[in-house]
Chain A
Amino acid sequence: MDYSLKIGGQAGQGLQTIGGLLAKVFSRLGYHVFTHQDYMSRIRGGHNFYQIRFADRPISCSRERVNLLVALDKNTIGIHRPTLAEGGLIIYDAEAVRDRYEGEEFFDLPAERLAVEKGGDRIMANSAAVGGVLGLLGLDLGAFEEIVRITMEKKGEPVVRGNIATGRAGSGFVREYCRRLDSFRTVPSGGERLMLIDGVTAMGLGALLSGVKLYSAYPMTPSTGVMTFLASKAKAHGLVVEQAEDEIAAINMALGASYAGVRAMTGTSGGGFALMQEGFSLAGMTETPLVIAEMQRPGPATGLPTRTEQGDLLFVVHAGHGEFPRVVFAPGTPEQAFLLTNKAFDLAEKYQVPVFVQGDQYLADSEWTGTGLPTERLVYTDYRLRGDKLAGLPSYKRYQFTDNGVSPLAVPGASKHLVVVDSDEHDEEGHIIEDAATRNRMVEKRLFRKLPLIRQEMAPPSLYGAEQPEIVLAGFGSTWGVMREVVDALSGRHRIAMLHFSEVFPLPLTDRFDYLALLRGARVSLCIESNATGQFARLLRAETGFGFTGRINRYDGRPFTLESLLGEVHAHLG
């Protein structure tokens, strides 16, 4: 069983409510769910959609064709009717869209009328739509009622009861009048209730569970979700979330807090990070720990503000003036986003460097199911010097030369020892210098001594599929899910594997897993990226000399779907 359904309509019509409710119902019933959203940069009107795929086995990407289309307006029918799978159904409300469609793929669900009759308010029409979908799929409304109760509790009992009654009416109507029920019957998932989480929330949760104390940022799609999540937890867990006047202030505020002794983070998208670069370089010079969520969207400039791209990889790898170490993580799933945000905090503090967790709109907004996040794999070590350990030191120098280049990181005010940091080149104490000898020693300390140690921390790419593949699909970040399913689809006929990099820069060593030998041994090696120029392929060639046999790039702002990537891979296989 593997169904895809799409809810389309104008911004402000509540398709997120419908989509969010359905995804939650499916995951509570134990189905595996994958959702993605496509929305325009506007508050009302236009055309948006929310796509949900659910199955009785793990899934990790969206499909091109949908079995069920819930159309909240006429435009949706015009745009998405061609993507309807064979035997698919379009549910719409003829009265609401003021038009009637003939043909057996159409089903008129009078959602607004049912809402008025059963719920007492036209606004509850969305619950009729949810009920209608669940009725069509032959699913029990228990989970729906449970979720309505939790999410609408604050609005009062009449609203809760009205929505539940409307949902039941929607389901009842479909079960009574739809003649296509047989073709949409579902099988029980056979599993327990699953977790449902999206990429930005997983990142925010990772930060929260890593002890972040200050998050300062300027709102920018698609990164804002990290901030929204943390703001919702600020009171319960003692963290400060501050909306800065601009991205320049955001990163400098985070650096001030980190200097003062707490774990700090900022987040933005490409344009905002362009503004942050000077502060990023300041983090490098002052060796101040910092975690940055860089959630990409298509550029240049404002680009496609609400859509997806992996166009900033080389930007962050080379960001900031001057030369200093940085780490770039590129999670492919919410679980990876959760764990890598934790690793980002650990490495940032251990080596006193800035660390990126880079995502994109597709990862940010996509919801995935799972059996739970592996909290047992989280690490927390306070690398800062404070308390008796600091007070007991006979002397203290912020930039003391050490064998590994990592100097003691003291908290100012916690002892008599003074903590002096400077954006100018400085001596061991942190005071401004201009002499060549000290400059050379500081570059060696900051860069050359730390880099090899940081590189050893980078986990090798993950291999999925054939152990000695003839065809390798390589990529980084959010393409993990779709590459994995393409490998599944082609494994029967080909010796094929996916090589996915989630720890991107500095490139992992090959001592634990010689991924370069694997790539060189493959007859076909394809680098798959959501950008125009193949930035990861260029990075790999620059760092290792390896060139892929082919590249697949998508840069229209939309994610790869299973069918679209399968088609492109086929073209390369001949």
Chain B
Amino acid sequence: MPTLDDYRGQVPAWCPGCGNFGILNAVRKTFVGLGIEPHQVVMVSGIGQAAKLPHYTRCNIFNGLHGRTLPVATGVALANHELLTIVETGDGDCYAEGGNHFVHAIRRNVNVKLFVHDNQIYGLTKGQASPTSEEGMVTKLQPFGVLAGQENPLALAIALDCSFVARGFAGDMDFLQHLMSEAIRHKGFALIDILQPCVTFNRVNTFKWYGERVYRLEEGYDPADRAAAFERAREWGARIPIGILYRKERPLFEERVPVIRETPLVRQPFDFARVKEEANAFF
């Protein structure tokens, strides 16, 4: 069985006190808790502080371009769906630069787990607004405050009938580990939007700010109720719900592609003698 030591990677280059540490610990505990070996995991990330997480644990890693995590993860899943494919991304990476891919990955329903470290700000480029920044937030690039409306990724995902939609909080690590385990156990595309305080650039949405507002969804909440899920996704202000907001069994993309239903592409040998016959079809 794997231990936490198996998931010890490079030394993190995050700011002291960063919300990412809580997420990193939750990820490592989730893998250990589920008995997953490092070589069975592929972590795909893009650019940003969240994107560095894979290096701080141990597994197979594809750290690619800004915003392009989901297409890479889709490619990995189509080639080998026996691997656990996890995307570590941020609100800028996933919702801004990668917004188009976010929509279409949800539509496909590949078995990819999408963990979005949502700190409502750009950290790596030093404090500009992100799609999830609250309207009116003043930054060096938004001196009149953020003029665009705040994106609600959970409501968007539910509108697209995403098969698993959850919100976590970096300050509630045990619950986050539970959500991650559920996301991995779930068959289908799974989104966890993780509220992650940025201790350097976001002076509004702090640990304290979230701590006063965040609550776990009550027992008896039915994640199958899409209309209720949509309402909860819109709850933002005095109270912010965390937990599995929406869950729906949808046919998995990998199971609907006939040629990989049984065996992943990567384990299918190339039969040249058989394929060669195709060259005779043009007479």
> Measuring CB to CB, which residues of chain A are less than 8 angstroms from any residue of chain B?
27-28, 193-197, 201, 205, 208-209, 211, 213-214, 216, 233-235, 237-240, 242, 244-246, 248-250, 252-262, 264, 278-279, 282, 286, 372-373, 375, 378, 380, 382, 411-424, 430-432
Contact = CB atoms under 8 A, between A and B. Distances in A.
A239 B101 CA distance: 22
Contacts of A27: 283
A257 B78 contact: yes
Nearest to B54: A420
The CB with the most chain B CB atoms within 10 A, among A201, A209, A256, A421, is that of A256
A248 B78 contact: no
Nearest to A194: B283
A249 B104 contact: yes
A244 to B, nearest CB: 7
A9 B268 CA distance: 47
Given A256-B72, A264-B75, A209 B282 contact: no
B15 interface: no
A257 B59 contact: no
A245 B100 contact: yes
A245 B59 contact: no
A418 B60 contact: yes
A59 B280 CA distance: 21
A254 B75 contact: yes
Given A242-B78, A244-B71, A432 B52 contact: yes
Interface stretch (B132-140, B144-152, B197-205, B258-266): B258-266
Contacts of B40: 413
Interface in B54-91: 55, 58-65, 68, 70-80, 82-83
B38 interface: yes
A249 B83 CA distance: 20
Interface of B: 10, 37-40, 42, 44, 47, 52, 55, 58-65, 68, 70-80, 82-83, 100-101, 103-104, 257-260, 265-266, 268, 270, 272, 274-276, 278-280, 282-283
A375 B272 CA distance: 10
Contact of B60 (A246, A255, A412): A412
Contact of B265 (A195, A213, A245, A430): A213
Given A214-B265, A257-B75, A279-B68, A413 B60 contact: yes
Main secondary structure of the interface of A (DSSP, over half): mixed
Given A245-B101, A421-B62, A432-B52, A209 B276 contact: yes
Given A245-B104, A256-B77, A432-B63, 11 more contacts: A209-B272, A209-B276, A238-B259, A240-B257, A248-B68, A252-B65, A261-B80, A282-B65, A372-B280, A412-B39, A415-B39
B82 to A, nearest CB: 7
Nearest to A426: B63
A191 to B, nearest CB: 12
Contacts of A279: 65, 68
Nearest to A410: B60
24 contacts: A195-B283, A214-B78, A216-B75, A237-B274, A240-B257, A248-B101, A249-B71, A250-B71, A252-B72, A254-B75, A256-B71, A256-B72, A256-B77, A257-B75, A258-B75, A262-B265, A282-B65, A286-B64, A372-B279, A375-B279, A421-B61, A421-B63, A423-B63, A431-B10
A246 B100 contact: yes
Contacts of A380: 270, 272
Closest 8 CB pairs of A and B: A256-B75, A260-B79, A252-B71, A256-B72, A412-B60, A211-B270, A257-B75, A249-B71
B75 A260 contact: yes
B282 A197 contact: yes
Contact of A423 (B65, B71, B82, B283): B65
A13 B9 CA distance: 64
Contacts of B82: 413
Contacts of B52: 432
Nearest to B266: A261
Contacts of A240: 78-79, 257, 259-260, 265
Contacts of A209: 272, 275-276, 278-279
B251 to A, nearest CB: 16
A216 B257 CA distance: 14
The CB with the most chain A CB atoms within 10 A, among B68, B73, B77, B103, is that of B68
The CB with the most chain A CB atoms within 10 A, among B47, B61, B72, B282, is that of B282
B64 to A, nearest CB: 5
Nearest to B10: A431
Nearest to A28: B283
A259 B75 contact: yes
Contacts of A417: 39
B79 A234 contact: no
A262 to B, nearest CB: 5
Contacts of B103: 245
A213 B268 contact: yes
A392 to B, nearest CB: 15
